Structure 1
Amino acid sequence: MIDFPTAQKAGELLTRVRERRPRVHCLMNTVVQKFTADGITAVGGIPSMTSSPEEIEDFVLMVDALTINLGTLDEARRKVIRQAVAIANAKGKPWIIDPVHCDYSPSRLAFAREMLALGPAIVRGNQAEMSVIGDVAKALRIQTGPQDLLQDQNRAATIHNGHPWMAKVTGTGCLSGGVIAAFMAVETDPVLAAAAALTATGVSAEIAARHSRGPGTFEAAFLDALNGLSTDEIVSFARIERHEN
């Protein structure tokens, strides 16, 4: 039987994340490392961020999930990403990739496709990035935007939660990738995990916007809302639309 994401399931998985406190390793755009780490911590996970070749094996071995972001990509980061993915795959640890700006650079697109061939559980990008990526084999495909569209071979869903100020704070997408990884650590079904994580961040953004004057105050309020988010708020405010493939 195939399960579809629901508000109730999202609330259940939020509780599970907070109870289990999964460890998430982030090979992350250097611009947004702190914000991403703060978001993972706020939702209930434990982040680590090192990209040291000498340390990456030890860190990936001890975490529950891995998130990879291709922002601020250079040769040293390419090497450590390859190393981390090899370890995660060998140990059966789930990972998500965000092919940031792969539509800008042929070399970055080539590297993104190299990583996709290694079997991520989830590929997450905006419309431009996902249009050049094309098919993603067995991975869950997430196209982000004013609404987030999730699609695998059998299911599709749209998360309608969120707020326009998310697009005016650098790193909200990167943060959501880290939160998705935290949910992947407690739910083996990528569709259910990602839908729950995106619902949690989207509802938190809507709550934060009520107490904000603009993007600056929104950033702090968003972390506060994510930290204080309740399962009742998810159930009350989630807008998850199911589609038939």
Structure 2
Amino acid sequence: MSVMLELPSSLRAATLLAQVRARRPRVHCLMNTVVQKFTADGITVVGGIPSMTSSFEEIGSFVAKADALVVNLGTLDAARREVIRLAVGVANAAGKPWILDPVHCDYSPSRLAFARELTGLGPAIVRGNTAEMALFEEAGSAVRICTGPVDRLADGGRSVRIANGHRWMAAVTGTGCLTGGVIAAFMAVEPDKLIAAASALVVTGVSAELAAREAKGPGSFGVAFLDSLSEVGADELLLHARIEDDRN
């Protein structure tokens, strides 16, 4: 007997956003150092509690206290590789979900090899742009997210596309990293990783559209985006969310 799997919806996104704001999940980020503050601000305004340390001595304790982990390869060196391995080991041992963002793995063979090593360790989600995700056609049981003007998510049994967002997101460094942090916050309150990720993408996408109405350009958009994330609610999500079944 086949099992009907739930698909994401605007109502589900609104419900999960309310849960994130009520529960305030802790999200630990091993993040691109260029965008740490912007990402931390985004997690905070949506309702989560971020932490960012990459200290080898501290990472185990921080991940143990977190509800979800973000691994972003944007700025990578030998020391950070070891910290990431330790963090992932702690997360896996505790059953905590984590998301892998293999940033620029298409630029560097050594980065790609490391990203593939991490993919084999069981991330809940692997998220990247078209060029990056072309190198990860197989990602185990992870939800695959291919980002772009339309985001596409697939977990084997389901495939959905989300058309929310604004072109200025691509002009502000860190909006994608911030979105990864928001996805992690949603994973902390929703065990269905595709539902969690799709809901987070709807929240960030709708917030971007609302922010663009107030902004004059990419500079003011970054500030307006944070404002919109802090204020967006069920009414806006139900009105503006664009989620479609992508299996047809």
The reply to whether TM is greater than 0.5 is yes
Which residue of 2 is the match for residue 136 of structure 1?
Answer: 139
**Is 1:160 matched with 2:167?**
no
Partner of 2:150: 147
* Counterpart residue number, 2:68: 65
Give the CA deviation at 1:137: 1.5
- Whether the 8 Å contact between 1:123 and 1:141 is mirrored in structure 2 is yes
Amino acid corresponding to residue 49 of structure 1 in structure 2: M
- Cα shift at 1:30: 0.3
**131-140 vs 154-163, greater mean Cα deviation:** 131-140
Task: State the secondary structure of the residue aligned to 2:100.
Answer: strand
Which amino acid in the other structure matches residue 228 of structure 1?
E
The answer for unaligned runs of 5 or more in structure 1 is none
Give the aligned partner of residue 44 of structure 1.
47
- TM-score when scaled to structure 1? 0.99
Quote the offset at 1:232 in angstroms: 1.1
After TM superposition, the score normalised by the length of structure 2 is 0.98
Structure 1 contact 147–160 (Cα < 8 Å) conserved = yes
Q: How many pairs does the alignment contain?
A: 245
SS at match of 1:66: strand
Q: Which amino acid counterpart does residue 177 of structure 2 have in structure 1?
A: C
Hey, which bits of structure 1, 4+ residues long, moved more than 6 A? none
Amino acid at match of 2:158: R
Matched, 1:212 2:202: no
Q: Distance between the aligned counterparts of 2:96 and 2:141, measured in 1?
A: 16
Give 1:133 shift.
Answer: 2.3
1:11 to 11, 14, 31: 14
What letter corresponds to residue 181 of structure 1 in structure 2?
A
Residue 173 (str. 1) matches residue 145 (str. 2):
no
- For 1:23 and 1:228, the matched residues in 2 are separated by 20
Instruction: Please tell me the root mean square deviation across aligned C-alpha atoms, in Å.
Output: 0.7
Alignment partner of 2:38: what SS?
helix
Residue identity matched to 1:151 = A
The residue identity in structure 2 corresponding to 1:153 is: G
CA contact (8 A) 1:28 1:68 kept: yes
Superposed CA offset, 1:141-178 (max 9, x none): 00000010000110000010000000000000000000
Question: Which aligned pairs between 1:83-162 and structure 2 lie closer than 5 A?
Answer: 83-162=86-165
From 78, 84, 88, the counterpart of 2:81: 78
Give how far 1:242 is off. Answer: 1.0
Quote the sequence identity (%): 67
Residue deviations 1:80-113 (CA, integer Å, cap 9, x gap): 0000000000000000000000000000000000
> What is the deviation of 1:134?
2.4
Partners of 1:51 and 1:175 in 2: CA distance: 17
Distance 1:244 1:220 in 2: 36
